[in-house]
């Protein structure tokens, strides 16, 4: 976590509020107790925030731990005003990241009941300014963070296909993009999935298709020898 990020988060939440006028500079202790079980995430960031403010932290837990109601995941000691200054920010980090990690873990376990090879991946539909933390939470929950931005891979989405056509869009991407970058294609039919595989794309994403159609699409691709090039 970058120093400038901590400062920006505190500025957003606290601004220039002078806690010294409200809370005395008294030493105090506090603890964070779990209200609902799940997978813990965000603890590293929380410790960094408290450390930045000069608050001491002690914990027996680490990110990725399975936690239950009543667990005390962090104990802190320091100036009361500093602890209160960080309170909402650290709870937001823990709540948001642990929620994502817990839900991801649930998805992964459920999916792997059907197929042990399945990988659950995140998207770019993240909270602006918080992507790296939400992606980290996905990884902590056992998922694949997938790409962090457009710069990591080429994805040919439905609107590109409507504008250029599937075959032309893939050919253009192969002409313009370095061989070191993967090309991923969104398809909405089994026919397009097979066509994309024949054009040698790296990843096929079945978009807005039923589980039944996705299963049929994967089976068809495997029959054609494209089992290592399919994705759901």
Cα dihedral 218, 224, 229, 232, rounded to 10, equals -10
Contact 196, 161 (CB under 8 A): no
Our answer to whether residue 125 is catalytic in this structure is yes
DSSP 8-state symbol, 69: T
**Got the DSSP string for 112-179?**
HHH-TT---B--S---TT-HHHHHHHHHHTT-B---SSTTT-EEE-HHHHHHH-HHHHHHHHHHHS-T
Among all chains, which residue has been given the structure tokens 């298709």?
209
Catalytic residue among 35, 68, 125, 212: 125
Contacts of 112 (CB under 8 A, 6+ apart): 118
Measured between alpha carbons, how far is 217 from 209 in angstroms, rounded to an integer? Answer: 10
| Helix, strand, or coil (residue 81) | helix
Hey, which residues are catalytic here? 125
């Amino acid at each position: 976590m970058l120093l400038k990020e901590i400062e920006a988060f505190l500025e957003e939440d606290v601004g220039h509020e002078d806690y010294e006028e409200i809370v005395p500079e008294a030493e105090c202790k506090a603890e964070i107790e779990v209200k609902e079980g799940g997978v813990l995430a965000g603890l590293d960031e929380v410790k960094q925030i408290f450390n930045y403010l000069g608050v001491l932290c002690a914990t027996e837990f680490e990110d990725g731990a399975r936690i239950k109601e009543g667990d005390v995941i962090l104990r802190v000691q320091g100036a009361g005003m500093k602890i209160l200054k960080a309170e909402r920010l650290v709870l937001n980090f823990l709540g948001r990241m642990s929620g994502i990690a817990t839900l991801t873990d649930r998805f992964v376990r459920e999916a792997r009941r059907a197929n042990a090879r399945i990988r659950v991946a995140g998207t770019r539909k993240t909270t602006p300014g918080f992507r790296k933390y939400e992606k980290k939470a996905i990884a902590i929950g056992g998922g694949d963070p997938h790409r962090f931005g457009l710069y990591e891979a080429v994805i040919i989405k439905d609107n590109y296909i409507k504008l250029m056509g599937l075959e032309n869009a893939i050919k253009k991407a192969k002409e313009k993009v370095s061989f070191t970058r993967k090309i991923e294609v969104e398809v909405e039919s089994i026919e397009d999935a097979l066509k994309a595989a024949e054009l040698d794309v790296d990843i096929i994403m079945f978009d807005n298709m039923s589980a039944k159609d996705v299963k049929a699409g994967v089976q068809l691709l495997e029959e054609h020898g494209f089992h290592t090039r399919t994705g759901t």
